[in-house]
Amino acid sequence: DARCPLWAWRLAALPGEAPPAPEARHAARAALRAVRRQCMNCAGNRYEVRACQARESCPLWRCRFGVRPQTYKAVRRRFFAPKALRLF
């Protein structure tokens, strides 16, 4: 169905079959944005996307934030890392 945000990606290359950069980088970013749009349509809002419990059943779950899973982990690690105490 062409109304699905992932419709244009239904014939996309499988992981490991990506075209060479920089087209690959652009295509990957566009695909991640499409996944994010699909998740927003599916769940309704970003809080529900964050709380999505479909880890085992939905193939989009790992990319639901619209970034690569590695990027999400790095940002999360940085955010929750111990920080030096600043008094003033």
Q: 50 to each of 3, 43, 86, how far by Cα in Å?
A: 23, 9, 31
Min dist CB 4 to ligand SF4, Å, is: 10
Q: Which of 6, 12, 28, 60 binds ligand SF4 (CB under 6 A)?
A: 60
Q: Which of 52, 67, 68, 72 binds ligand SF4 (CB under 6 A)?
A: 52
Q: Is 58 in the site for ligand SF4 (CB under 6 A)?
A: yes
Q: How far apart are CA 26 and CA 16, in angstroms?
A: 16
By the rule CB under 6 A, 36 interacts with ligand SF4: no
Secondary structure of residue 72 in the 3-state scheme? helix
